[in-house]
Amino acid sequence: MKSLYIGLIILFVATTLLATQLIIHKTDGTDIQVNISDIESITFGEAPYGEILLYDDFDSYEVGTFPSEGGWVIQYGGAGQNYQYISDDYSNSGSKSLRISGTSGWRAEIINEIDLSETDIVFYEASFYALPGSRGSVSLYNPDYGSWGGWTCRILFEDGDLNFRDFDPGAESIELFSYSQEEWVTVKLRYDQQVGKVDIWANGILVLEQHEMNSNIEPFGITHFVVSTNNYYGNQINYWDDLKVWTE
């Protein structure tokens, strides 16, 4: 899954500044040397980063605490406020991830504010560790829409089935992919708000291409990024890691 950025990335971008040159040390042991004056933007693997709006690998927090310092907020407390915390049970990067726990009828929902006012094209990425029987979802979001929030570009992890709803409430589920539980699954989504089209990758595989968003549903002004457990099942425990939102 870290194949995501095709091995290039997340490396350790140690930078050595030599006068006008930048040396980037990659995790595969090779270096890239570039002239600083030539840099307009740096592209890592397949994913060009415009502006990173949100990024958290959850490795900088103490185990057992809630990562408020990263801007995360508990919108709904699921099994209880104290059951939403940093864990070292499983991790996709480093040694820690965000563990959230919901109950039947009361989801755990963790949000972080994002500002998409300056961009048409937004990407998000998330890694999810599925305990058997636990369901979760990741999405762009507006917590103030309707009674329980409005999801735009919602990817749902449902007992090995990866599903997508372009708007929720309102749109039908589209089946994307089958994943193995008790393993990390990484999804990446690209949403062009201007033309209303979506692409989705699961574990690096393109599983939805140029999907047209349902034009009969009024978009819910996106204000947040969200991860949540499923509403309708008990004892839902999700682990989330490497949550990112960026623009093209």
Of 57, 109, 125, 166, the residue at the interface with Ca ion (CB under 5 A) is 57
By CB under 5 A, residue 241 contacts Ca ion: yes
By CB under 5 A, residue 56 contacts Ca ion: no
Residue recorded with tokens 């699954």: 185
- Judge whether 157 and 137 are in contact, CB under 8 Å: yes
> Where are the extended beta strands (E) located within 159-235?
161-168, 174-178, 184-192, 197-202, 205-212, 224-229
Residue with smaller CB distance to Ca ion, 59 or 161: 59
Cα(222)–Cα(202) distance, rounded to whole angstroms? 23
By CB under 5 A, residue 125 contacts Ca ion: no
- Judge whether 131 and 182 are in contact, CB under 8 Å: yes
By CB under 5 A, residue 109 contacts Ca ion: no
By CB under 5 A, how many residues form the interface with Ca ion? 8
Alpha-carbon 142 to chain mean position: 16
Residue with smaller CB distance to Ca ion, 69 or 209: 69
Q: What is the nearest approach in angstroms of Ca ion to the Cβ of residue 77?
A: 23
Number of helices (H), then strands (E), in the chain: 0, 20
Q: What is the nearest approach in angstroms of Ca ion to the Cβ of residue 60?
A: 9
**Closest C-alpha to 130, from 158, 103, 110, 111:** 158
Question: Which range of residues in 14-22, 73-81, 138-146, 237-245 is near Ca ion by CB under 5 A?
Answer: 237-245
Q: What is the nearest approach in angstroms of Ca ion to the Cβ of residue 63?
A: 12
Question: Which range of residues in 57-65, 152-160, 188-196, 199-207 is near Ca ion by CB under 5 A?
Answer: 57-65
Binding site residues, Ca ion, CB under 5 A: 57-59, 91, 93-94, 96, 241
